[in-house]
A and B are shown apart, each in its own frame.
Chain A
């Protein structure tokens, strides 16, 4: 039987749509995390985007390369919430000072609490299984 390109294209496209929707519905079955305020964290993500923090910083090693990864900065014993607040306010050698409102700052901190609660980004904590996948 001759396989027409149209059929192959349609089969792949339907599979892709099904795969995409399986990801879109994930939040429906997600458990509520009490360690942070969901609404504030969502606003904090907008602060992260509005000030383009991703241009220099990473979350789960995804993002810019000029500054460090901030996924677990809240639980880092050498950093933490207060240091973050101070650094954002005063800037560093490369990072300019940001004049965030109290509301923006609190939302940003809540967002970083939510990234911290989501898992560990330190590659040293990852293990490689027999299939070659990291866990």
Chain B
């Protein structure tokens, strides 16, 4: 079956893949500054490269998540009004992306961390998201007894809009004039926004599991709903673990601490389900979607273990503000979000090949990606632990000397980053090329 080139879900997925490649290019340039401080210092500088990398990576996830929802709901997109709204939504995103990239290149900043662009570009994003919400409800209005993934998609879309708006409360002097409240809200937003797109992506993972196993069991089980509500509970209340060291109200920190500990339930369940999941899904034919979902499962295990430990305040004082936090952010963004998105891209963009060499090459890319990410993650963690020890030592050497001592780990981190760039870009371009040249009669890779 030929994948439709004008499919709205595909349009978002392909745009997301381009953002991924953009994020990787800017990420490598930014990482090189850790090794060569003068690199591009005058031309563009770290202050522009970091947000160019971060925003591109976030747009890869957000646009990819949008594409997953539209692709998952493809069967319900019959109304031309929905397609028109979705096209306007996509157009607003393109306007926002062009504006934001220009904003960074011209150093026209103004926003908070992770959203550093001139706040005017938040408007097309907010408008696009409102249209997404409208479209979503138009799509699901006739569906009764929603499976869990539709609940998760709805939650992700709704809470993204709420927290994204909350992200701009600093515009009002009422909030800005109270530094601690302002920072509390900033990290409440950052925590909940990640939770929002995770809801959409984990929903997509549930959708794919049902599709791959050709059953409707996963999406309607009581356990899936219990996990969904536990995830939602964490999205809403666990963000306090970001701000243990901020002198905000004690109850905020305690709520964050206690709620974060409920994530142990997920963690134990992952271990409990491990063997069962391998034996059931493995039998099916969607080779690459399955491989990427399994990889995401392993990265969930590693990152959740790390996150739970980091949520314990006594450990958090060692890891907070160090590269352990970066390792966690990269581990979840690449290891979990990107693996689920690649599973979705391979499924929805109908990757097919009967060419054995091509299949072998993609298998190589898959494994090279996992190895590069593991080295990348470990090097950042070690650098972070070393910085954590420095932070708490009584006889601190200067900050620059401490950073200089981390140089060997930064070299490994940059080299592993090159590996990530090569593998992820090759996969992204391969999928885009496949979509535009897809004319094989065979639908699914059966290796």
Could you tell me which A residues sit within 8 Å of B by CB distance? Answer: 5, 8-9, 12, 15-16, 19-20, 23-24, 26-27, 30, 38-39, 41-42, 45-46, 49-52, 54-56, 58-69, 93-94, 96, 114-115, 118-119, 121, 123-124, 126, 128, 131-135
SS of B interface (majority): helix
B181 x A27 contact (CB < 8 A): yes
B236 within 8 Å of A (CB atoms): yes
| Nearest A-chain residue to B163, judged by Cβ | A20
Q: Mark B315-327, 1 if CB is under 8 A from A, else 0.
A: 0111011110010
Q: Which residues of B contact A119 (CB under 8 A)?
A: 180, 246-247
B178 x A51 contact (CB < 8 A): no
**Apart from A52-B107, A60-B243, A118-B247, 8 more pairs, CB < 8 Å:** A27-B174, A39-B177, A45-B182, A55-B50, A123-B391, A124-B392, A133-B253, A134-B244
Q: Mark B153-165, 1 if CB is under 8 A from A, else 0.
A: 0010000000000
| Nearest B-chain residue to A78, judged by Cβ | B398
Q: Which residues of A contact B107 (CB under 8 A)?
A: 52
B25 within 8 Å of A (CB atoms): no
Can you list 5 A-B pairs with a CB-CB distance of less than 8 A? A5-B151, A55-B46, A58-B321, A128-B317, A133-B313
Distance in Å: Cβ of A51 to nearest Cβ of chain B: 7
User: How far does the alpha carbon of A42 sit from the alpha carbon of B173 in the complex, in Å?
Assistant: 7
B187 x A12 contact (CB < 8 A): no
Q: Which residues of A contact B170 (CB under 8 A)?
A: 45
Contact of A60 with B246 at beta-carbon distance under 8 Å, contacts A15-B236, A20-B188 already known: yes
Contact of A20 among B109, B166, B173, B320 (CB under 8 A): B166
Most buried by B among A12, A49, A61: A61
By Cβ-Cβ distance, the 4 closest A-B pairs, closest first, are A61-B321, A119-B247, A16-B236, A27-B178
Instruction: Name the interface size band of chain B.
Output: 35 or more
Most buried by A among B41, B178, B244: B178
Q: Which residues of B contact A65 (CB under 8 A)?
A: 321-323, 326
User: How far does the alpha carbon of A54 sit from the alpha carbon of B257 in the complex, in Å?
Assistant: 26
Contact of A128 with B116 at beta-carbon distance under 8 Å, contacts A58-B321, A94-B33 already known: no
Contact of A62 among B33, B116, B174, B187 (CB under 8 A): B187
A61 x B245 contact (CB < 8 A): yes
Contact of A45 among B155, B179, B229, B316 (CB under 8 A): B179
B110 x A46 contact (CB < 8 A): yes
A134 x B317 contact (CB < 8 A): yes
Distance in Å: Cβ of B172 to nearest Cβ of chain A: 10
Contact of A62 with B229 at beta-carbon distance under 8 Å, contacts A20-B188, A94-B37, A132-B313 already known: no
Contact of A118 with B252 at beta-carbon distance under 8 Å, contacts A12-B233, A20-B166, A61-B321 already known: no
Distance in Å: Cβ of A105 to nearest Cβ of chain B: 17
Distance in Å: Cβ of B442 to nearest Cβ of chain A: 39
Distance in Å: Cβ of B8 to nearest Cβ of chain A: 27
B47 x A56 contact (CB < 8 A): yes
Contact of A5 with B37 at beta-carbon distance under 8 Å, contacts A41-B179, A51-B109 already known: no
Distance in Å: Cβ of A116 to nearest Cβ of chain B: 10
Q: Which residues of A contact B399 (CB under 8 A)?
A: 67-68
User: How far does the alpha carbon of A45 sit from the alpha carbon of B146 in the complex, in Å?
Assistant: 45
A12 x B232 contact (CB < 8 A): yes
| Nearest A-chain residue to B54, judged by Cβ | A55
User: How far does the alpha carbon of A55 sit from the alpha carbon of B391 in the complex, in Å?
Assistant: 20
Q: Which residues of A contact B51 (CB under 8 A)?
A: 52, 55
Most buried by A among B107, B180, B253: B180
Distance in Å: Cβ of B167 to nearest Cβ of chain A: 12
B236 x A134 contact (CB < 8 A): no
Contact of A124 with B394 at beta-carbon distance under 8 Å, contacts A9-B155, A19-B237, A27-B177 already known: yes
